[in-house]
Structure 1
């Protein structure tokens, strides 16, 4: 899988990210478009994974003090269960480490908690919460010893 990243909202990489997010979150999960496309779009670093020149997986990172917040992790329906999500998460982790960040945090949909647990994220003590009609759990991964 080829991983590309961008901050440019006019780039093809961003447009590919947006297309995956719209298919997964808006169409499949019925998240309102006004919640999916938010005020942080221009502050994020977008990662997109390509297989045979097709965008199949995406995520974004938002910088927050000593960490990055992982958001909008989505895998195209036809590309699920091939390890692309894990591969893209590892690429984002390498980027964060190389950027000197201490942790990665994220808000996992409850159905995705096992996926993130496999990547050594741990649930925080914060209570589960509802976001866009879906229950979430905050999780964190320390990048430094």
Structure 2
């Protein structure tokens, strides 16, 4: 599996296509919209293998914190550790870029996944507007 920074318009569109497949089509999230005002300045990461695009995630810079979001793996590539591989690549890159912390809004069912990567839950569960319960999580890089 190759995980790279999406630098071309085609690569960024591939990231958006994965997000659309997972969040809009599979999870039925239409509000808030998947594409938002942070996408223009975010760092987008694309996971690909010999069969094609497999997953994505992004970082939005918030001072010394790398706000990780839109972590998505296509159904065809789940269960092989790709989500963790994407997260490790992003965390390594965030640290190399000088971020001190990482934060994310985890869907509640995925909290244990992020805890295994060194994140700690912070605060109560909340609905982010999508109808899916979330909880803030943080990690020191």
The secondary structure found in structure 2 opposite 1:12 is: helix
Residue 71 of structure 1 corresponds to which residue in structure 2? Answer: 69
Write the deviation string for residues 97-139 of structure 1: whole angstroms up to 9, x where unpaired. Answer: 1111111000000011111111111101x22110111100100
The secondary structure found in structure 2 opposite 1:43 is: coil
The secondary structure found in structure 2 opposite 1:112 is: helix
Partner Cα separation in structure 1 for residue 22 and residue 6 of structure 2: 20
Of 121, 127, 136, the match for 2:124: 127
The secondary structure found in structure 2 opposite 1:74 is: strand
Residue 107 of structure 1 corresponds to which residue in structure 2? Answer: 105
Partner Cα separation in structure 1 for residue 75 and residue 99 of structure 2: 31
Write the deviation string for residues 25-55 of structure 1: whole angstroms up to 9, x where unpaired. Answer: 0001111065211111101100011111511
The secondary structure found in structure 2 opposite 1:35 is: coil
Name the count of aligned residue pairs: 140
Which consecutive aligned stretches of 4+ in structure 1 deviate over 2 angstroms post-superposition? none
Say whether residues 1:57 and 2:70 are aligned partners: no
Residue 82 of structure 1 corresponds to which residue in structure 2? Answer: 80
Q: Normalising by structure 1, what TM-score?
A: 0.92
Structure 1 residue 6, shift from structure 2 partner: 2.8
Structure 1 residue 13, shift from structure 2 partner: 1.3
The secondary structure found in structure 2 opposite 1:36 is: coil
- Cα RMSD of the aligned pairs, angstroms, is 1.3
Residue 40 of structure 1 corresponds to which residue in structure 2? Answer: 38
Residue 6 of structure 1 corresponds to which residue in structure 2? Answer: 6
Partner Cα separation in structure 2 for residue 53 and residue 77 of structure 1: 13
Unaligned 5+ segments in structure 1 are: none
